[in-house]
Amino acid sequence: MRVWVTRSEPGCSRQAEALRAAGFDVLAAPVLTIEATGNPVPEGAFSHVFFLSEQAVRHGGDLSYARSASVYAVGTRTAIRLQEAGIRAAVPDQASSEGLIAELHDVPLDGAACLIVAGEGGRKALVAYLEGRSADVFEHLCYRRNAVETPPPSLRGITHILIASQDGFRAMARLWCSDGGDSDVQVIAASDRIAALGPELGFSNLNVAAGATDADFIAALEVQ
């Protein structure tokens, strides 16, 4: 078994190290690079601030806008990055926009100023939910994802590919197909929503991990 870890850095190297420690042969080769947009933070004071990735923390500016707000992190890694900046964040049980939405069920939001810190082109589920709860919603789109154009030189022998996002799945598919990869390769996606792209992209050998953490992917690989 040879596993391709495709997520962007720094998560790619971190996850590859965890998989190697678990005994897997790993290729760490991101299919997306991250670039700061330079967009300014919307002006004003915010009651609630939502960070939708650790990249949002890395590229979100000086984070002063979050220091007097209720802060939410989409997952544990994002919360760790915030903690390193001296900001404590609530973390949902499910590391997704849906998980954040579940956390907000009993939170008064009518008229509340809410800031979402995220990347360009991401999902709008949280925006739609907050607007539906009559919150005033602002977005700080502080980074963008760029697809890697050239396949890594060591794709031969790959038997399993780990996918953590829809954008990553699309970027991986372009690289894999341009390198002549077998469409029957085993793809392990971090969610059903991501895996649902498989047939559209030409992949049919799909499994779904419990989430996108190192432990989730290791557990999915161990049953292969």
CA distance 2 to 24: 7
Q: Same structural domain for residues 10 and 49?
A: no
Q: Rounded CA gap, 106 and 99, in Å?
A: 14
Mean pLDDT on 128-141: 98
Assess whether 51 and 116 both reside in one domain.
yes
The span from the CA of 79 to the CA of 4, in Å, is 26
77 shares a domain with 178 = no
What pTM was estimated for this model as a whole? Answer: 0.89
Residues 43 and 124 in one domain: yes
**CA–CA separation, 210 vs 219, rounded Å?**
8
Full domain range(s) for residue 15: 2-31+148-222
Residues 119 and 39 in one domain: yes
pLDDT at position 122 over 90: no
Condensed to tens digits (0 to 9), the pLDDT of residues 4-16 reads 999 999 999 999 9
Instruction: Report pLDDT digits (tens) over 62-115.
Output: 999 999 999 999 999 999 999 999 999 999 998 899 999 999 999 999 999 999
Using CA atoms, how far apart are residues 17 and 30, in angstroms rounded to an integer? Answer: 14
Res 167: pLDDT: 94
Domain end residue (candidates: 145, 173, 200): 145
Condensed to tens digits (0 to 9), the pLDDT of residues 165-194 reads 999 999 999 999 999 999 999 999 999 999
78 and 107 both lie in a single domain: yes
| Judgement on whether residues 68 and 168 belong to the same structural domain of the protein | no
Question: What's the full length of the chain, in residues?
Answer: 224
Strand partners, 145: 34
Domain of residue 205, CATH code: 3.40.50.10090
Same domain as 204, residue 117: no
On whether both 171 and 122 belong to a single domain, the answer is no
Query: Parallel, antiparallel, or unpaired for β 25-28 and 32-36?
Result: unpaired
Which of 130, 145, 160 is where one domain is finished? 145
* Residue-level pLDDT at 154: 84
Q: CB atoms < 10 A from the CB of 218, how many?
A: 19
Number of domains in the chain: 2
Phi, psi of 128 (to 5 degrees): -60, -40
The pLDDT value recorded for residue 36 is 97
- CA-to-CA dists, residue 71 to 56, 84, 128, 204, angstroms: 13, 14, 19, 39
Distances (CA, A) of 190 to 3, 80, 129, 133: 15, 20, 23, 28
Confidence category of residue 123, pLDDT binned at 50, 70, 90: confident
Question: Final residue of a domain: which of 145, 165, 189?
Answer: 145
- Asked if 126 and 176 sit in the same domain, the reply is no
